[in-house]
Structure 1
Amino acid sequence: MNSVKPSIDSGITRIAPGFRALSISVEAAAIVDTGIASETLSRACRSISDGDVAWAEAHSSAWAEVFRAFGAKPQRTPCSSDALRKRVLRDGSLPSIDPIVDLYNAISIEYAVPVGGENIAAYVGEPSLVIAEGTESFDTMKDGAVAHESPNRGEVVWRDEIGVTCRRWNWRQGIRTRLSADAPQMWFILESLPAMPLDALHEAGERLTQGLHRMMPGAVIDTRLIGVDPDNTL
């Protein structure tokens, strides 16, 4: 399989010292059991009140500081895991979206870690985590129609050779590379800061890959640890 090779701009170091992530590439197969996703999501929603992970509050606070460091307001545009967990605390559950999306949302909720899922076949070139110039294009939905906007100058974004695929680091994903269960090639990124133990990040990645293997036994999966420090790249 062709594993995704994301790159991280050196300027990210000053914004988020110690940032590391798991990059998971998937050659998908037929899904044989969608119920696994709903079960995992329900369990994750219960976990917040039944026995939350020890690092949850510290990791959430660390991401809020990172967002402030590049000019975002985390109260208005929180990191993705924070947004999901707040919805669960408010509503008691999270509605189903898609089996694959439900699965990676469940991991994000249970482990208090931002998780992105992308249809990597829709990418042009490899994903890059960069500091935006402010002229890049990002596709989103406004008033029920596709609209294009640009990130703020200095904002941290994921992008490919065409444009931005996720704004404010992991806050909002674009439409062009949106992931669903019918995507033949998938890419997941689990993003953590030092407030989350490294072994917990690996455990979260294992839980995600185990769920994917159970849902689609024929999938081929490759997991790599990436970070701004070359010594953290496997």
Structure 2
Amino acid sequence: MPDEITVDAAVYALRPDYAVLAVTAHGLTGGPSDARSAAWLADAAKSADPEDPHLDAWREAYRAFGAKPQRTRPSMDALIRRAGALPQVNLVVDAYNAVSVARALPVGGEDLAAYRGPARLVRATGEEDFDTVAGGEPAVEHPAPGEVVWRDDAGVTCRRWNWRQCVRTRITEDTADALFLLETLAPYGRERLREAGDELAARLREISPDARIAARLVEAP
């Protein structure tokens, strides 16, 4: 799966400094949040840095495609603002959220069993389907034309780069095979990104010692 992930040229035209570390994990045995994952989140909250320049880089990227980062915040910006009361979701989600907060890094997690074709980062036409929940009920929305979105053959999997994930590909307690997307902009260094990937892999192996984990860096040619 990491070898099939693509980033469209239109995204690189917007931000040529964009890079994503795609991490796959096969053979996960997750479960509900516990005291261990609570400790991961608590430790991450202690090291959260709301002044990290990576947050400003992402806010600028959002403005570049017409989003308002004060209203629809980059994922790690929203999490860091909640660092005093980070939500527990399940073991795997808690693991990648802890890395996101501690490393000031957008990290998304996707259930590979729900994917239809490879993941790709594109600028939307505005006609793509995005399945979500509105008012407590299932709903289908559509991105704005030009919005940066992750998608597969079935539709949008994450809107506004890393703002909100669709329902279909969310990681649950039963997810066995997952894709994680660790996204960066300058000035975030490659060594810092590698360390974040290593930390995520270590958390996943703590949850699932037999998991098979691979990673690939995708960046502008």
Q: 1:210 to 1:115 in 2, by over 3 A?
A: same
Query: 66, 69, 73: which is aligned to 1:71?
Result: 66
What per-residue deviation string (whole Å, max 9, x for no partner) do you get for residues 106-160 of structure 1? Answer: 0000000000000011010000100000000001110101100100000000000
Structure 2 residue 156 is the aligned partner of structure 1 residue 164:
yes
Cα pair 2:149 2:156 within 8 Å, conserved: yes
Classify the secondary structure of the residue corresponding to 2:181: strand
Q: 1:31 to 1:141 in 2, by over 3 A?
A: closer
Counterpart in the other structure of 2:9: 10
Counterpart in the other structure of 2:80: 85
Cα pair 1:37 1:211 within 8 Å, conserved: no
Q: 1:214 to 1:34 in 2, by over 3 A?
A: farther
Cα pair 2:29 2:175 within 8 Å, conserved: no
Query: 155, 176, 201: which is aligned to 2:147?
Result: 155
* d(CA) in 2 for partners of 1:86, 1:136: 30
* d(CA) in 2 for partners of 1:59, 1:138: 27
Gaps of 5+ in 1: 230-234
Cα pair 2:130 2:157 within 8 Å, conserved: yes
Query: 202, 205, 229: which is aligned to 2:194?
Result: 202
State the 1:13 CA deviation: 1.4
* d(CA) in 1 for partners of 2:72, 2:30: 33
Classify the secondary structure of the residue corresponding to 1:21: strand
Cα pair 1:38 1:99 within 8 Å, conserved: no
Classify the secondary structure of the residue corresponding to 1:11: helix
* d(CA) in 1 for partners of 2:133, 2:57: 29
Query: 52, 58, 63: which is aligned to 1:57?
Result: 52
Structure 2 residue 213 is the aligned partner of structure 1 residue 221:
yes
Aligned length: 220
Counterpart in the other structure of 2:166: 174
Q: TM-score, normalised by structure 2?
A: 0.95
> RMSD in angstroms over aligned alpha carbons?
1.7
Cα pair 2:2 2:216 within 8 Å, conserved: no
Q: 1:182 to 1:4 in 2, by over 3 A?
A: farther
Identity %: 43
Counterpart in the other structure of 1:20: 19
